[in-house]
Amino acid sequence: MRTEILKIGTLDRTRGVHRAARWLDQGKLVAFPTETVYGIGCKAEKHTFERLNKVKGRQPDKRYTLHIGSPEQLTKYIPSKSLKAQKLVQNAFPGPVTIVFELDDEALRQVTESLPKDLYETLYSGQTLGVRYPACQITCEILAQAHSPIVAPSANPGGSPPATSVKEVLGYFDGEIEGVVEIPDFEANFKQSSTVVKVGKEDIQILREGAVPASQIQKWTTIRLLFVCTGNTCRSPMAAGFCRKYFADNLGCQVDELEHFGYIIDSAGIAACQDAPASRDAVEVCRAHEIDLSFHQSRQLTLIDIEQSDVILTMSRYHRDSIVQSFPTALEKCFMLDEVADIMDPMGSGIDVYRDCFQQICDNIIKKKKEIL
């Protein structure tokens, strides 16, 4: 067999892209470039995988990474994502990061109902699937045009460095694969493998540090949660205090370690005086639940708060409406903490009212755990 070089120019590329996609759909092995290294594209089906394993000298029990060329393809295979997964996708795709998604039960149900059984068993490992969205426009066009799901391990035999050029691909696989895509003037920016990140149900794991450092992944996946009331002296501080403790308990860490686990939880008021302490009754109610508000200082909600927050939870509809009216960019991330009823202001009403208010806040944060943790 002769390995053909498919030269695809950046101006007139329709024919070359179509040919490469058609070859992949036919079950041929076609190497293509990414911004990291070359990968060997392969149709996701059992007998084609068997040939790819033989070419790479790879054990058959290892799973391959699905490669996509558009956001729509991701939705097909990962129908729902946690908040951390959504944020990582927004920051890392397309780019030199492979994300291993852990599907929850509902997403798994949707996938198993929509995909053929043999395809599901070929692609997924238990409840996980690794996905790569490379930052190479022509390669993405090939992947998007292919009618079949395409996997693409690095172009190298086991134990050898990944190929970063057509010459290196041919040095490994000339006569063993059908084609290799060559894009004139294209050069991989990183020349090392992608960083592999597993997004679990409650945590993020770096499985392999590569082109993107772990510190950047941490920044990309940190969730900023903001609670908002009027004066930022009772309702929103109680909400932030309970949320910090609740998250820390669920993650098995201390409250002051939450940022290391990827959560920043704060509060503000739409009409707050600067640096006022939490109300006495709020401090007392929280102390009974081992939550310390003695150091709290109120602050006014700002545009920077809106821009930096991933989720904004308000104590009433009035708060939400006021925020959206003043900051239209908050529309898609600003919600009432209690979707049914306002959390009434307990200021001046006595400690029993504070206790009821605190309980309503806690119940609703617990309800939202799956959405934000």
Q: CATH number, domain at 358?
A: 3.40.50.2300
pLDDT tier at 233, thresholds 50, 70, 90: very high
Stretch 67-76: mean pLDDT: 95
Phi-psi region at 27: left, alpha or beta (left = phi > 0; alpha = psi -120 to 50): left
Q: Give me the pLDDT at residue 282, please.
A: 97
Q: Give me the pLDDT at residue 303, please.
A: 95
Q: Give me the pLDDT at residue 126, please.
A: 84
Tell me if residue 235 is catalytic: yes
Q: 3-state SS of 90-142?
A: HHHCCCCEEEEEECCHHHHHHHHHHCCHHHHHHHCECCEEEEECCCCHHHHHH
The domain total for the chain is 2
In this structure, of 65-69, 128-132, 199-203, the range with the lowest mean pLDDT score is 199-203
Q: Give me the pLDDT at residue 245, please.
A: 97
Q: 119 with 259, same domain?
A: no
Q: At what angle do helices 235-251 and 280-287 cross, to 10 degrees?
A: 20
Question: Which tens digit of pLDDT belongs to each residue from 30-47?
Answer: 999 999 999 999 999 999
The answer on pLDDT for 266 being more than 90 is: yes
Sole residue written with tokens 């392969």: 42
Q: 245 with 300, same domain?
A: yes
Q: 181 with 294, same domain?
A: no
Tell me if residue 273 is catalytic: no
Point out the domain boundary residue: 212, 233, 255.
212
Stretch 238-252: mean pLDDT: 95
Q: Give me the pLDDT at residue 60, please.
A: 78
Residue that wins the pLDDT comparison between 60 and 355? 355
Q: 303 with 171, same domain?
A: no
The answer on pLDDT for 241 being more than 90 is: yes
Q: Which of 25, 104, 203, 345 is catalytic?
A: 345
Domain range for 56 = 4-212
The answer on pLDDT for 372 being more than 80 is: no
Q: Which of 136, 140, 229, 243 is catalytic?
A: 229
Q: Give me the pLDDT at residue 73, please.
A: 95
The answer on pLDDT for 326 being more than 90 is: yes
Q: Which of 19, 132, 235, 320 is catalytic?
A: 235
Q: 53 with 159, same domain?
A: yes
Give backbone dihedrals phi and psi of 149, rounded to 5 degrees, phi first.
-65, 140
How far, in Å, CA of 194 to CA of 210, rounded? 5
How far, in Å, CA of 111 to CA of 100, rounded? 16
The amino acid occupying position 167 is K
The answer on pLDDT for 215 being more than 80 is: yes
The answer on pLDDT for 27 being more than 90 is: yes
How far, in Å, CA of 25 to CA of 43, rounded? 6
> Taking all residues of the chain, what is their mean pLDDT, rounded to a whole number?
94
Q: 279 with 347, same domain?
A: yes
Evaluate whether 293 touches 240 at the Cβ level (below 8 Å). no
The answer on pLDDT for 201 being more than 80 is: no
The answer on pLDDT for 11 being more than 80 is: no
Nearest to 240 by CA among 201, 297, 192: 297
Q: Give me the pLDDT at residue 113, please.
A: 94
The answer on pLDDT for 9 being more than 90 is: no
Q: Give me the pLDDT at residue 319, please.
A: 98
Q: Give me the pLDDT at residue 102, please.
A: 93
Q: 331 with 289, same domain?
A: yes
Q: 25 with 157, same domain?
A: yes
How far, in Å, CA of 98 to CA of 66, rounded? 9
Q: 64 with 162, same domain?
A: yes
Paired tokens of 271 = 């009409």
Question: Which tens digit of pLDDT belongs to each residue from 156-180?
Answer: 998 899 999 999 999 999 999 999 9
Q: 302 with 176, same domain?
A: no
Evaluate whether 183 touches 33 at the Cβ level (below 8 Å). yes
Tell me if residue 292 is catalytic: no
Evaluate whether 299 touches 269 at the Cβ level (below 8 Å). yes
Question: Which tens digit of pLDDT belongs to each residue from 115-127?
Answer: 999 999 999 988 9
142: domain CATH number? 3.90.870.10
Q: To the nearest whole percent, how much of the chain has pLDDT over 90?
A: 86
Task: Spell out the alpha helix ranges (H) of 179-222.
Answer: 214-221
Residue that wins the pLDDT comparison between 201 and 184? 184
